[in-house]
Chain A
Amino acid sequence: MNERARRLLEIADDELVLGWRDSEWTGIAPSLEEDVAFSSISQNEIGHARALYELAARELGTTADQLAFDRQPEEYLSAPLVELRRLEWARTIARHYLYETADAVRIEALKSSDDPDVAGLAAKIEREEAYHLMHAELWIDRLLATDEGRSRLREAVEELWPYALGVLDDELRPVWVSRVRERLGFELPDVEPVTREQHTEELRELWEEMTSVRRSIPAGAEW
């Protein structure tokens, strides 16, 4: 697999798995209004995954659905941060903020790709992701504004920090780390990132469930 396809799949897999995780809040989010808003975010993420898969699919001679569903768990390139399951709300918001801010750095870099398709798609994704960032920032503001909110957020961010460090590569990571430290004001130590190669068991469980209907009928069936 060439570098271009690999980069696309990395982001696509992140968006797919995060979208899947975020969609688990549909129906049980802290408020009805937040439920509706967060569900849109999860749908956008799946939509971005689909667009990225389609771009990669042309090159790899396959389809977006096949890339999304028909690989084995160890072939996915997602970051462990997005794989973690059943996070309660403070951790969900922490992940949301950490991921969106990291992703923004990554997408910004992609916009200056030599490849016009990639650059074009990155620009579109960035315009949509602006709303995700706005939403995440709103929640961060609100949580930081009270003692209880701040304490819960801090605990959540500290726990997710090693995973969050694994989203970006060595080149893009530093600028993101200093932005986050400044914004949150928490002590976030330099630790070993949990990298993409270190897939969690939770990804396999997700994959089993996610592909259960699809695998129940021989490949090629229409759904």
Chain B
Amino acid sequence: MSQREEEFLEYVQAGGQVETGDWMPDDYRAKLIKFIEMHGNSELMGVLPEREWILRAPTLQRKLALTAKVQDEVGHAQLIYRVVEDLGKPREACLDDLVSGKAKFHNVFHYPTRTWGDVGVIAWLVDAAAIISQKALLKCSYAPYARIMKKICWEESFHILHGRDVVLTMMNGTDEQRELVQEALTRWWGPLMQFHGNPIPRDDDPMFVWRIKSQGNEEARQGFLDGYVPQIWELGLSVPDPALRKRDDGVWEYTEPDWDELRHVVTGHGPRTADRLDLRKRAREQSAWVRSVVLAEAA
């Protein structure tokens, strides 16, 4: 590493903030783009499992709340891709890489949704897992990204409320409704435990070294378990992991997640990866004329 790069590293590790026009090491810029792009891809892909349920929402209120939630996610993708573009990678290039399978997105969005129970569990727990990571990103060394995280976190808080409301209403409803929630939770637990990534020590994680992330993967997972397992148990729901427990020292123990599954899924082999990317690709192709004829810069 050159001296200038060393100084930059010390600067960010001491809490220094970086703006778009500042000098930055090539590696920092590259890691930043990769990390932020994956976030944008995840928001955009996260829309697809949920939007099917917009059409099936069982009350007008749920329909509105779910549409607003998915709208927020598209809005987040917009904010995030703008940041990536200002770092040097245009939105169209990001979308090209997404649909071609070259770029990644979070594991949870590769799985199917099967019932209205999934709608509640996703909005409550998947968004909760995401918000644990997103709150940590408020301290990202790259300031434009840290700034958009504020709006993102604010909007995510509505999503979790909506998710909890959906779940609680069902838990207070019929046996069938309770079963829908439990069944969804049982299916989603594996991906949720994998969500924060394998427990690489944070000093070995380049994203932490550059202070793009301000917490390690295991720290995030522990935060999720500590915040949400009590909420799950208090409703009488069971988590499909007999080893899950909180030790006296406050650390949660659990059955080691299947890291092979995680790797397999995020490299594009999830149960719904192919058809969701295909949907994106087709939608994009069909609306290409709109972008070139109408949305391109005014002559």
A interface, CB within 8 angstroms of B:
20, 23-24, 26-36, 39-40, 42-43, 46-47, 49-50, 53, 64-65, 68-69, 88-89, 139, 142-143, 146, 148-149, 152, 209-214, 216-218, 221-223
Contact: A142 with B56, CB < 8 Å?
A: no
B interface, CB within 8 angstroms of A:
44, 47-48, 51, 53-60, 62-64, 67-68, 70-71, 73-75, 77-78, 81, 91, 116, 166, 169-170, 172-174, 176-177, 279-280, 283, 286-287, 289-291, 293-295
- Name 23 A/B residue pairs within 8 A (Cβ), A-sorted: A26-B51, A26-B67, A26-B71, A28-B279, A32-B74, A32-B78, A32-B91, A36-B75, A39-B67, A43-B67, A43-B68, A46-B64, A46-B67, A65-B60, A89-B286, A146-B294, A152-B289, A216-B116, A217-B176, A217-B177, A221-B174, A223-B116, A223-B169
Q: Which 4 pairs across A and B sit closest by C-beta, in order of nearness?
A: A27-B47, A30-B287, A30-B290, A214-B58
Contact: B60 with A27, CB < 8 Å?
A: no
Q: Give B15 Cβ to nearest chain A Cβ, in Å.
A: 32
Q: In the complex, A66→B25 CA distance in Å?
A: 60
Contact: A222 with B169, CB < 8 Å?
A: yes
Contact: A65 with B59, CB < 8 Å?
A: yes
Contact: A36 with B78, CB < 8 Å?
A: yes
Interface of A is mostly: helix
Q: Give B284 Cβ to nearest chain A Cβ, in Å.
A: 8
Contact: A213 with B56, CB < 8 Å?
A: yes
Residue of B nearest to A29 (CB): B287
Q: In the complex, A124→B174 CA distance in Å?
A: 38
Contact of A222 among B173, B280, B286 (CB under 8 A): B173
Contact: B67 with A88, CB < 8 Å?
A: no
Contacts of A216 in B (CB 8 A): 116, 176
Contact of B60 among A29, A40, A49 (CB under 8 A): A49
Q: In the complex, A49→B63 CA distance in Å?
A: 12
User: With A23-B54, A209-B56 given, is the CB distance from A42 to B67 under 8 Å?
Assistant: yes
Q: Give B49 Cβ to nearest chain A Cβ, in Å.
A: 10
Contacts of A30 in B (CB 8 A): 287, 290-291, 294-295
Contact of B295 among A34, A152, A223 (CB under 8 A): A34
Contact: B293 with A213, CB < 8 Å?
A: no
| Apart from the given pairs A30-B290, A32-B74, 18 other A-B contacts in the complex at a CB distance below 8 Å | A26-B74, A27-B70, A27-B74, A28-B283, A29-B287, A30-B291, A35-B74, A40-B71, A46-B64, A53-B60, A64-B60, A65-B59, A211-B58, A213-B56, A217-B173, A217-B177, A218-B174, A223-B62
Q: Give A142 Cβ to nearest chain B Cβ, in Å.
A: 5
Contact of A143 among B55, B173, B294 (CB under 8 A): B294
Q: In the complex, A10→B92 CA distance in Å?
A: 42
Contacts of A149 in B (CB 8 A): 293-294
User: With A46-B64, A223-B58 given, is the CB distance from A89 to B74 under 8 Å?
Assistant: no
Contacts of A142 in B (CB 8 A): 294
User: With A28-B279, A29-B287, A32-B78 given, is the CB distance from A146 to B58 under 8 Å?
Assistant: no
Contact: B295 with A46, CB < 8 Å?
A: no
Contact: B55 with A209, CB < 8 Å?
A: yes
Contacts of B279 in A (CB 8 A): 28
Residue of A nearest to B290 (CB): A30
Q: In the complex, A107→B123 CA distance in Å?
A: 37
Contacts of A29 in B (CB 8 A): 287
Contacts of A50 in B (CB 8 A): 60, 64
Contacts of B77 in A (CB 8 A): 32
Contacts of B59 in A (CB 8 A): 65, 69, 214, 223
Contacts of B51 in A (CB 8 A): 24, 26-28
Contact: B173 with A26, CB < 8 Å?
A: no
Contact: B63 with A46, CB < 8 Å?
A: yes
Contact: B74 with A148, CB < 8 Å?
A: no
Contacts of A49 in B (CB 8 A): 60
Contact: B78 with A33, CB < 8 Å?
A: yes
Contact of A36 among B44, B71, B286, B291 (CB under 8 A): B71
Contacts of B47 in A (CB 8 A): 26-27
Q: In the complex, A69→B291 CA distance in Å?
A: 37
Q: Give A143 Cβ to nearest chain B Cβ, in Å.
A: 7
Contacts of B54 in A (CB 8 A): 23-24, 26
Residue of A nearest to B62 (CB): A223
Q: Give A130 Cβ to nearest chain B Cβ, in Å.
A: 20
Q: In the complex, A223→B120 CA distance in Å?
A: 10
